[in-house]
Amino acid sequence: MSEAETTASPTGRFRASSVGTSHAISIFAGIVFWGWLTTRWLNDWVLARLGIGPGAGENFVPREPFDAAAGSAIEAAERFSIGGLPFEWLNSLLETAGVAVLGWLGALLDTAGVAVGIAPALAGAAWYTILLTVISIALGFSIAVPLAVIRVYGGPLKWPALAYTELIRGTPLIAQLFVLYYGLPLAVWLQDTTLIGYGTIPEQAFWIAIIGFTINGSAYQAEYIRGALESVDEGQLTAARALGLSQIDGIRYVVLPQTLRYAIPAWTNELVYLLKYSSLAGFITVPELYNVASDIANSTFEFTAIFGLLAVVYLGLVLTATNIMSRVESYVAIPGIGAVEGRQQGDS
């Protein structure tokens, strides 16, 4: 083997120098984001019942000061003028600059006002989004692993499994949700169950969404767990069986542990995917982030601010998820075991 010499990769150097500040910023942002969410949840569910604090759904910070400040900034922008400077062009230049700055400041304060106003509602909705995602992906995973094993080792059972995955992956998620919610009498059945909708347990629409996401997620997860299964060398199972392990035990103790590590990047993509597509549950009346934000926007018409903030919240959730998963990946990493692509390639 010859001496391994390559010029040092320039991207490596770049990444090293920028990691310091961007790392600090993202940690700070993360703390702010999750700090807000957890305080809000704590307030709404625990403190409010105990009578402490402003009460469930009420703002921590009142909105009025922001609106007032925004108002005065915009007024000042309209009345802004500079006189008395020797040159006319200098006057108008400074005037335009001043108007622009004040106008921008006004818009910023206005957005802040909107943010403060809708924050409680968004936090509550974020809880639904997170719950929806986490439960669906966990359930989907428990279906996907056996499904993938059947696809690879299952003999004649391969074909129904294949049909299932192809059909689910070949049709839009939203159509599947519609079929489940409007098309099948699931909604009625669930509603009749006394537990659903009682107290803190969410409405039936939520559970139908869970079913829909679980089924959809299971098909995709099965696909790349299958890919990961196939990348594990055949010799591994052969060696296991040579020791006397049965096929099932061989799969369970030798093949799957390696498979699951291969599948982590793909699985992270699935998590992010579900986080984003949970927005579709809004169409079957689940009060998750998109639904809540859209309702507010349709009554106040502050589309820009609201959708902008909505995007920020989703980004916060997505980036947190990818962060956690890359830590998990490092934690369980075994040298020499690589990766499989997931639903969509990419880092987020």
Partner 1 sequence: MDPAAFLSTVSWVAAGELSPLLVESIWSMLGEDWQFVLRNADYLLGGVVITIVLTITSILLGILLGFPAGAIEVYGSGYSKAAVRNLGILFRGTPILVIMLYMFFVMPIEYLLGPLNTLIGGIDLLLGPTPFTAPEEIGGAFFAATLALGLRSAAYQSQIFRGALSSIDDGQMEAARSIGMSRLVALRYVIVPQALRRSVPGFQNEFTIVLKDTSIAFAIGLGELLKRSDDLFIQQTTAILEIMLFASLIYFVLTFSTNRTLDFVDNRFAIPGESS
Partner 2 sequence: MTDSQIDRSSRTDRGTDAEPSPLLRIEDLRKSYGDEEVLRGVDLEIERGDVEVLVGPSGSGKSTLLRCVNRLTEVDGGHIYLGDVDVCAPDTDPNEIRQQIGMVFQDINLFAHLTARENVMLGLRRVKGMDKEPALERAEEELDRVGLGDQVDSYPAQLSGGQKQRVGIARALAMDPELMLFDEPTSALDPELSNGVLDVMSKLVADGMTMLVVTHEMRFARGGATGITFLDKGEVVERGPPEQLFENPEKERTAEFFQSISHE
Give the binding site for partner 1 (CB under 8 A): 6, 10-11, 14, 18, 166-167, 169-176, 178-179, 182-184, 272, 276-280, 282-283, 290, 294, 297, 303-304, 307-308, 310-311, 314-315, 318-319, 341, 343-348
Q: Which does 3 bind (CB under 5 to 8 A by kind): partner 2, partner 1, none?
A: partner 2
Q: Which does 45 bind (CB under 5 to 8 A by kind): partner 1, partner 2, none?
A: none
Q: Which does 234 bind (CB under 5 to 8 A by kind): partner 1, partner 2, none?
A: none
CB of 275 to partner 2, least distance (A): 38
Interface residues toward partner 2, by CB under 8 A = 1-3, 5, 7-8
> Cα separation of 218 and 339, whole Å?
19
Nearer to partner 2, 4 or 334 (CB): 4
Q: Taking Cα atoms as reference points, which of 167, 224, 243 lies closest to residue 341?
A: 224
> Cα separation of 221 and 233, whole Å?
20
Q: Taking Cα atoms as reference points, which of 160, 153, 159 lies closest to residue 225?
A: 153
Nearer to partner 2, 8 or 50 (CB): 8
**How far does CA 225 lie from the centroid of its chain?**
21
Outline where the chain has alpha helix (H).
10-42, 48-50, 64-79, 88-153, 158-170, 173-178, 186-192, 204-231, 234-242, 247-250, 256-277, 289-300, 303-332
Token pair for residue 108? 């910023």
Nearer to partner 2, 13 or 327 (CB): 13
Q: Which does 5 bind (CB under 5 to 8 A by kind): partner 1, partner 2, none?
A: partner 2
CB of 11 to partner 2, least distance (A): 17
Q: Taking Cα atoms as reference points, which of 297, 273, 313 lies closest to residue 32?
A: 313
Q: Which does 315 bind (CB under 5 to 8 A by kind): partner 2, partner 1, none?
A: partner 1
CB of 53 to partner 1, least distance (A): 31
| Three-state DSSP class for residue 180 | helix
Q: Which does 78 bind (CB under 5 to 8 A by kind): partner 1, partner 2, none?
A: none
CB of 323 to partner 1, least distance (A): 12
Q: Which does 8 bind (CB under 5 to 8 A by kind): partner 2, partner 1, none?
A: partner 2
> Cα separation of 144 and 140, whole Å?
6
Nearer to partner 1, 62 or 308 (CB): 308
CB of 1 to partner 2, least distance (A): 7
Look at phi and psi of residue 301 and say left if phi exceeds 0, alpha if psi is from -120 to 50, else beta: left
Nearer to partner 2, 8 or 334 (CB): 8
CB of 117 to partner 2, least distance (A): 55
Nearer to partner 2, 1 or 50 (CB): 1
Q: Taking Cα atoms as reference points, which of 158, 147, 262, 315 lies closest to residue 216?
A: 147
CB of 48 to partner 1, least distance (A): 29
CB of 184 to partner 1, least distance (A): 7
Quickly count: other Cβ atoms within 10 Å of residue 22's Cβ: 10
Query: CA-CA distances (angstroms) from residue 96 to 81, 82, 91, 104, 332?
Result: 9, 10, 9, 12, 58
> Cα separation of 193 and 31, whole Å?
40
